Chains A and B, each alone.
Chain A
Amino acid sequence: AQSVTQLDSQVPVFEEAPVELRCNYSSSVSVYLFWYVQYPNQGLQLLLKYLSGSTLVKGINGFEAEFNKSQTSFHLRKPSVHISDTAEYFCAVTSNYGGSQGNLIFGKGTKLSVKP
């Protein structure tokens, strides 16, 4: 079975500073990895995904993530954040194998708070 650990429940950062939101996963089979963002009172929106190929994945709103198989990590980064990036961010994993059968397994989420 797959699982996801988001190491920080809250990350405060000043505007225009860089940010990294950490995500580690556990799986015995090959996986697909996703980052979703949830703005207040909204549904989840896909930021980016890793399926295969290049380990550096670029997404929307200037975010990128790097897949590291040896460290089973998929950390999300942005070089300069804006107030509008304040939201909750979820890392998710799925696989074609095992119990998940394509269903997303989510981490607990990281609340990013960008201060002026």
Chain B
Amino acid sequence: DSGVTQTPKHLITATGQRVTLRCSPRSGDLSVYWYQQSLDQGLQFLIHYYNGEERAKGNILERFSAQQFPDLHSELNLSSLELGDSALYFCASSVAPRGASGTEAFFGQGTRLTVV
């Protein structure tokens, strides 16, 4: 158990809908990262939050957004869903303050999103 909790584990929804994925980081971790894993794209970095502030954006679509709340949990919002958004979405957390890249990131078990 990594200590990172993601809910729900599975989500099936229709095209055009909006969903919210939730992540609770390990106790004491201030950084939260979101990744998308799909068969064709592999593991893609989406976005990074540190202590409530957005720090970096990767290959995140405009239809997707995220936030980190004062209690440090994070939510990834996916809207106007398309079939191609079906993927495994991972959250990871680390202690790392900005720039301390050597610290380990701990991954949750992911949310499997299926868009039908």
- A selection of 30 A-B contacts at a CB cut-off of 8 Å is A32-B101, A32-B102, A36-B107, A43-B90, A43-B107, A43-B108, A44-B90, A46-B104, A46-B105, A46-B106, A49-B104, A51-B102, A90-B43, A96-B99, A96-B101, A99-B56, A100-B56, A101-B55, A101-B56, A102-B31, A103-B33, A103-B56, A103-B58, A104-B33, A104-B35, A104-B45, A106-B35, A106-B43, A107-B42, A109-B43
**Interface SS of chain A: helix, strand, loop or mixed?**
loop
How many residues belonging to A are interface residues under a CB distance threshold of 8 Å? 27
Choose among B31, B56, B102, B109 the residue that contacts A42 (Cβ–Cβ < 8 A). B109
With A and B bound together, what is the CA distance between A49 and B103 in angstroms? 9
With beta carbons under 8 angstroms apart, the residue of A52, A95, A103, A107 that contacts B48 is: A103
Cβ-defined partner of A43 (8 Å) among B31, B56, B104, B110:
B110
Q: Which 3 A-B pairs have the closest CB atoms?
A: A106-B43, A43-B107, A102-B101
In the assembled complex, the CB of A42 is this many whole angstroms from the nearest CB of chain B, namely 6
Number of interface residues of B (CB under 8 A): 28
Least distance between B31 CB and chain A CB atoms (Å): 8
B residues in contact (CB < 8 Å) with A: 2, 4, 31, 33, 35, 42-45, 48, 55-56, 58, 90, 92, 96, 98-102, 104-110
A94 at the interface (CB under 8 A from B): yes
Mark A residues whose CB is within 8 Å of B.
Answer: 32, 34, 36, 41-46, 49, 51-52, 90, 94-96, 99-109
Distance of A11 from chain B, by nearest CB (Å): 17
Q: Which residues of B contact A95 (CB under 8 A)?
A: 101
Chain A residues, CB < 8 A from B100:
96, 102
Q: Which of B4, B101, B110 contacts A94 (CB 8 A)?
A: B101
**Residues on the A chain within 8 Å of B99, using CB:** 96, 101-102
Contacts of B105 in A (CB 8 A): 46, 104
A28 to chain B, nearest CB (A): 15
B107: chain A residues at CB < 8 Å are: 36, 43-45
Known: A94-B101, A104-B105, A107-B42. 10 other contacts (CB 8 A): A41-B109, A42-B109, A43-B109, A49-B104, A96-B100, A100-B101, A102-B31, A102-B55, A102-B101, A103-B58
